């Protein structure tokens, strides 16, 4: 009899222990007695030419609060900023780069027709600076990076995430009629903004739990550049209604942009009215960096929540 009583007593103690373990909150607020895994955070940087200076202002605020993304995805100018950031350039480095005469001269007609952009990107990627991080930001862990390019022959987007970073960036920013397309693995690649200018969906596919999206558009499609010499044989496919003509008729980027905008956890859209894709003057660059920073500060509480893994 004593043995049975003792057995029931120990059984009751064991059950109470198990039930308590299941329902008691852990220090992180999670049940079942263990801390939750850190959420993977992605930063998505949209295209917009010179307006990409606003991205730098956003990065400044992220660094201040100690928020380091695990994944970076960019399109066009967003690919340049994001790609360089992923290899060690800080917001301060990018600020200095965008304000330099070397940078503004890259986008003159003479430089575009030559190989100045290719040469500079190759050099920037091959020789990143030794980062000096703000005290709030620990040295970054390895980051995944991808950028988006467009194959207009098939009206399909191409995600570039390996091999040559400089080449991938050049493909993502190859605006038709202004830059030569990049040929890679059977693709003829143009600016990714033609099909996916805010690639939140790609960040999700890369494993992001939370996404910060920085959208440079004002009226969604305000970044038209003067085009005077399209290569019609390269861009038009009249028989299959693909190529540039199919893009003009269907504008698949509109629907994708709306979907991605809605899918972001933190959506930052700096008010860049009055600036264009070719506002590369030093004064404009300085102003747009400040606009991006101000807009990010309006979302600083959300960014801090992400930093604390409490979003």
Active site residues: 76, 191
Cα–Cα dist 84/106, whole Å: 16
Q: What are phi and psi of 137, to 5 degrees?
A: -120, 120
Q: How far is CA 169 from the centre of its chain?
A: 12
User: 206 vs 55, 77, 117, CA distance in Å?
Assistant: 21, 20, 28
| Helices assigned H by DSSP within the chain | 2-23, 53-64, 77-86, 91-99, 101-105, 109-113, 116-126, 165-172, 200-205, 232-235, 243-250, 252-263, 282-297, 300-307
Cα–Cα dist 278/53, whole Å: 11
Cα–Cα dist 299/280, whole Å: 27
HSE-CB of 239 using CA atoms within 13 angstroms: 2
∠161-163-164 over CA atoms, to 5°? 100
């Amino acid at each position: 009899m004593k043995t049975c009583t003792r057995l029931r007593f120990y059984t009751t103690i064991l059950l109470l222990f198990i039930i308590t373990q299941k329902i008691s909150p852990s220090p992180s607020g999670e049940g079942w007695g263990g801390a939750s895994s850190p959420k993977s955070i992605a930063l998505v940087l949209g295209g917009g030419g010179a307006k990409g200076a606003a991205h730098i202002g956003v990065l400044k605020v992220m660094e201040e609060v100690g928020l380091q993304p695990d994944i970076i995805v960019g399109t066009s100018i967003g690919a340049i900023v994001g790609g360089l950031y992923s290899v060690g350039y800080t917001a301060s480095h990018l600020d200095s780069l965008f304000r330099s005469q070397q940078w503004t001269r890259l986008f003159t007609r003479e430089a575009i027709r030559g190989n100045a952009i290719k040469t500079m990107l190759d050099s920037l990627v091959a020789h990143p600076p030794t980062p000096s991080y703000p005290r709030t930001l620990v040295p970054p862990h390895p980051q995944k990076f991808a950028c988006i390019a467009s194959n207009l022959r098939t009206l399909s987007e191409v995600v570039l995430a390996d091999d040559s970073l400089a080449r991938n960036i050049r493909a993502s920013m190859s605006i038709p009629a202004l830059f030569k397309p990049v040929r890679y693995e059977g693709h003829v690649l143009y600016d990714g903004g033609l099909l996916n200018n805010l690639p939140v969906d790609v960040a999700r596919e890369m494993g992001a739990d939370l996404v910060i999206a920085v959208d440079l558009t004002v009226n969604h499609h305000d970044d038209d550049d003067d085009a005077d010499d399209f290569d019609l044989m390269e861009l038009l496919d009249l028989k299959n209604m693909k190529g540039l003509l199919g893009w003009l008729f269907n504008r698949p980027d509109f629907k994708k942009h709306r979907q991605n905008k809605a899918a972001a956890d933190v959506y930052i859209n700096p008010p860049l009215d009055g600036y264009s894709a070719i506002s590369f003057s030093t004064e404009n660059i300085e102003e747009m960096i400040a606009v991006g920073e101000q807009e990010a500060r309006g979302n600083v509480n959300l960014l801090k929540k992400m930093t604390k893994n409490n979003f």
